[in-house]
Structure 1
């Protein structure tokens, strides 16, 4: 049975209005979502001023943070945008380690007037958590956990920041749920140049794509506060 002209027109319009697959993967279609990487250039990003940092380039739709040849070297990017929210938001991105055996896309992000770093695979490749809390690194504080990362494998990350909780996921597995109330938050000296928002590698190469920041809705913020108050 042949579709009538009205059905055909409806189908054509629906295909035009559907978000592109890449947009769906990044969450670009979510209300208020802010894509932070256009897949082609380093617009609104600058290579982070680390000592003898590796090269930063865009290839095949990803930002490559090439391994520094310096002993203990870091490579990274830092946003030049000043209009991003500092609280009540969710940051999502995809990343993989291209070489090495340490963190490959540690994200430094704002928490109100201060900052934290979500370390992915530090201290030899598996320690994952927040640095620093009350002066203690992820390897020493209550957020530290162990998660194995394989080279040349893409992982999806999400960081949700509210006054009530800081929560972090890897491939939809929640690894961190932390109530910052009453704690001193801050970053290690090495990553302060990544503020206000940036990514860094340590003795490793990394790749990044699908970087999106989404302001949380009032309902989501209220839900986080309610969950934090529940014994």
Structure 2
């Protein structure tokens, strides 16, 4: 093979410049604060029949009691370039009044959606809805916890390629494989919270510090 060393050197110099400029481009985003001014306008009411009011003030969402459900939807997931795998969700939730779920979050897992129920079925149930058409009260993620009203509860969820994990107040409640399982939502109004959103059931709830991070 024949080549001109001067020509080769010139091409090599341009290639070096290209890679240097590529490295100087905007960094890949690794986290999103969904109640920051940049993203807060994308929050809307989910459109659940007879839902309560949704307000955002000082970086907090308040879900007023519905008849029975209230939902807050953040529809900008795809346009904002958020991931659907290998990411974490962190937020804090408070049940101000009532005795049912108050910090339930719906989120994407690959091409599907599921919900982490927080304080459901009378106030204590925790779990993922749904796995293999079984909701949080029926599948292997079912757990129970006591949620004191007017107290902030810290939630973290990790969406991995083949597993889901969820902690509440630093205690691991969900640790399940998703490989070979059907993921989906409990049929009904919770579907209006996709692609990402919060829901409460006959309760007043507050949500704050909503963050998404790549893993």
TM-score (norm 1): 0.76
Q: What is aligned with 1:142? A: 140
CA distance in 2, matches of 1:103, 1:75: 11
Q: What is aligned with 1:175? A: 173
RMSD between aligned alpha carbons?
1.6
Displacement over 4 Å in runs of 4+: none
The answer on 1:35 being equivalent to 2:33 is yes
Secondary structure at 2:41 match in 1 = coil
Q: How does 1:76-225 map to 2 (within 5 A)?
A: 76-81=71-76, 82=78, 83-189=81-187, 190-216=189-215
- Work out whether residues 35 and 59 of structure 2, in 8 Å CA contact, stay in contact via their aligned partners in 1: no
Secondary structure at 2:91 match in 1 = strand
- Work out whether residues 101 and 203 of structure 2, in 8 Å CA contact, stay in contact via their aligned partners in 1: yes
Name structure 1 gaps, 5 residues minimum.
Answer: 1-30, 217-231
Q: 1:39 deviation in Å? A: 7.1
Q: Which has the larger radius of gyration?
A: 2
- Work out whether residues 104 and 201 of structure 1, in 8 Å CA contact, stay in contact via their aligned partners in 2: yes
Q: 1:80 deviation in Å? A: 2.0
Structure 1 residues 150 and 140, CA gap change in structure 2 (3 angstroms)? same
TM-score (norm 2): 0.81
CA distance in 1, matches of 2:46, 2:151: 24
Q: 1:109 deviation in Å? A: 0.5
- Work out whether residues 57 and 64 of structure 1, in 8 Å CA contact, stay in contact via their aligned partners in 2: yes
